[in-house]
Amino acid sequence: MPAERYRERGGFFVDARMKHGLEELPFQEVSAPPEVVLFLRQHIGPAGKPLVREGHRVRAGQKVADSDDPLGVPVHSPVSGTVVGLRELPHPMSGRPEPALLIRTEDEGMPTPADEQDPDKLPPEEILARVREAGVVGMGGAGYPTHAKLRSGRGARFLLINTKESDPNVACDVRLLRERAEEVAAGIGVLARALGEPQVLVATRTAPGELPEFERLAQERGFRVVHIRPCYSVGSERLLVPEVLGFEVPLGRYPPDVGVVVHNVATAYAAGQAVRYGLPLVSRGLTFWAQDAGGRNLWVRVGTPVRHLLAFMGLAEERFSRFVFGSALMGWAFPEAGIPVVKTTTGVVGLGREEPSPYARPLPCMRCGYCDRVCPVRIYPSLILAAVKKGDGRALRRLHLEACIECGLCSYVCPARILFTPLLRDGKAFLRVQALTKG
Ligand code: SF4
Ligand code: SF4
């Protein structure tokens, strides 16, 4: 039975009841929307350049945008139809307006799989090329291009698969392990081959025996399944490594620097589909949750507006005031249902009109220190807040703002209802600009 509350550093709890039991619900396949809204950027890295124009006919799985930047990945159409325009919309990953292709759906058919390839017969470079060509990116929320992460992690000692699924509103990763265990295991094998066959560990919040098929496949393939304590912040790569492997990732370094490559379980699944069947990443599993409607696991095409998900579930749009994309604690909230799912969307939370933002009327900081006690990376958000407001770059560096994982726990516990995350992001952007201008 999954825990209902996550105990965090400092003795605080994050309420996980919103996903309690949700992993029992099978994915429901959502139909294609009448119009797909496909952002040209679906990951961390530059947006792709459109390869099609208004009036062009496209088929499902056709590449419609690409970039020659090392961190660029292509975007593919999830439907067959006609391009009807390019529009700027707030992006679920940045909150800022970014360009998206509009494609009118004319045929709901999905891309056709090619003849199965045996990944064990493919050289690692070919695996990387196939992963990139299919547009695979980190699907746990961060969106780092998978081919680039595999390239930088070659020769790593450990491949750590993250099925920790920390966010209190997300159950789609565990559901994926239950429903598509064989494909996930094969995908993990693909990633391991690309990295040079490191030791594979799969970190999960489930208890032993709760994933019987996957646990059997893992044993057959020599993966070690590690059942870790339920705790919200430990889903972050930087904290997952010490939790599972017992050593730290030093400040300013990344897991590959200490011989570890971390991939989300949905990314492993998508990489497997890309390499084995040549299938581009055009759909994914996610969890929708709302207070009175409960939760659902949905299998959704990338580019599907939330409005279409609501129609599919029979929920009236008018009852919601805004939608949070991804983590309930970290994601951006949008007041309209036209925003679409992207490759990194693990979940959507619908907030009702009777659920006002708790951060709408913040009070002055009362120096209670709760935010400092709960911060999982042991920095001091209360002091950082003051330094951001003063624009004091020297203090921000001294306080190690760059270590912040943007987990949102400081906002979650703050009795003055101060929303830290935008301020922390502003502070990081300020430091980046300062570093650039100093040469
Ligand atoms: S958002 Fe950053 S500063 Fe706040 S608790 Fe999380 S890691 Fe610490
Ligand atoms: S939790 Fe809020 S009120 Fe308390 S010290 Fe931090 S910012 Fe100030």
Atom of ligand 2 at shortest distance to CA of 366?
A: 3
Which ligand is nearest to the Cα of residue 374, counting in written order? 1
CA–CA separation, 359 and 356 (whole Å): 9
CA dihedral (240, 246, 251, 257) positive or negative: negative
Atom of ligand 2 at shortest distance to CA of 385?
A: 7
What are the domain boundaries of the chain?
5-25+114-277, 31-111+282-352, 370-437
Indicate the class that CATH gives domain 5-25+114-277.
alpha beta
CA–CA separation, 347 and 300 (whole Å): 11
Pocket test of ligand 2: the residue of 365, 410, 411, 413 to mutate, having most ligand atoms within 8 Å of its CB, is 365
pLDDT in tens, 367-383: 999 999 999 999 999 99
CA–CA separation, 367 and 416 (whole Å): 10
pLDDT band at 438 (very low <50, low <70, confident <90, very high): low
- Our answer on whether the CB atom of 418 is closer than 6 Å to any ligand 2 atom is yes
pLDDT in tens, 142-196: 899 999 999 999 999 999 999 988 888 899 999 999 999 999 999 999 999 999 9
The amino acid occupying position 348 is: V
Pocket test of ligand 1: the residue of 14, 405, 421 to mutate, having most ligand atoms within 8 Å of its CB, is 405
Pocket test of ligand 2: the residue of 361, 363, 370 to mutate, having most ligand atoms within 8 Å of its CB, is 370
163 DSSP β-pair partners: 204
- Which ranges of 164-288 would DSSP assign to H, the alpha helix? 172-179, 181-195, 212-221, 237-245, 265-277
pLDDT in tens, 26-80: 999 999 999 999 999 999 888 999 999 999 999 999 999 999 999 999 999 999 9
Nearest to 111 by CA among 69, 64, 48, 161: 64
Q: For residue 412, give both structure tokens.
A: 């979650």
Residues 6+ apart with CB under 8 A from 387: 395, 396, 399, 401, 427
Q: Please, what is the Cα angle at 205 between 162 and 334, to 5 degrees?
A: 70
Q: Residue 330 C-alpha to ligand 2 middle, in angstroms?
A: 18
pLDDT band at 246 (very low <50, low <70, confident <90, very high): very high
By the 8 A CB rule, do 100 and 89 touch? Answer: yes
pLDDT in tens, 264-293: 999 999 999 999 999 999 999 999 999 888
CA–CA separation, 81 and 101 (whole Å): 12
Q: Atom 5, ligand 1: which residue's CA is nearest?
A: 375
CA–CA separation, 174 and 153 (whole Å): 25
290 DSSP β-pair partners: 294, 350
Mark residue 27 as left, alpha or beta (left: phi above 0; alpha: psi -120 to 50; beta: remaining). Answer: beta
Q: What percent of the chain has pLDDT over 90?
A: 74
**Per-residue CA distances from 368 to 364, 365, 374, 416 (Å):** 11, 8, 12, 9
Q: Residue 349 C-alpha to ligand 1 middle, in angstroms?
A: 21
261 DSSP β-pair partners: 159
Using DSSP bridges, classify how beta strands 158-163 and 260-264 pair: parallel, antiparallel or unpaired.
Answer: parallel
Q: For residue 105, give both structure tokens.
A: 């759906």
The amino acid occupying position 278 is: G
Q: What is the largest CA-CA distance in the chain?
A: 63
Q: Residue 371 C-alpha to ligand 2 middle, in angstroms?
A: 6
Q: Atom 8, ligand 2: which residue's CA is nearest?
A: 365
CA–CA separation, 115 and 276 (whole Å): 8
Most confidently predicted of 9-13, 266-270, 402-406, 415-419 = 266-270
Is residue 256 helix, strand or coil? Answer: helix
Backbone angles phi, psi at 121, to 5 degrees: -100, 0
Which ligand is nearest to the Cα of residue 379, counting in written order? 1
Q: What does DSSP assign to residue 350? A: E
Predicted confidence (pLDDT) at residue 220 exceeds the cutoff of 80: yes
- Our answer on whether the CB atom of 407 is closer than 6 Å to any ligand 1 atom is yes
**Domains 5-25+114-277 and 31-111+282-352 agree in fold:** no
- pTM of this structure: 0.92
Residues 6+ apart with CB under 8 A from 216: none
Residues 6+ apart with CB under 8 A from 298: 27, 28, 30, 285, 286, 287, 288, 309, 312
Within 53-144, strands assigned E span: 57-58, 63-66, 75-76, 80-90, 97-107
CA–CA separation, 408 and 190 (whole Å): 33
258 vs 230: which has the higher pLDDT? 258
**Per-residue CA distances from 257 to 15, 139, 153 (Å):** 34, 22, 8
CATH number for the domain formed by residue range(s) 31-111+282-352: 2.40.50.100
Q: Residue 168 C-alpha to ligand 2 middle, in angstroms?
A: 23
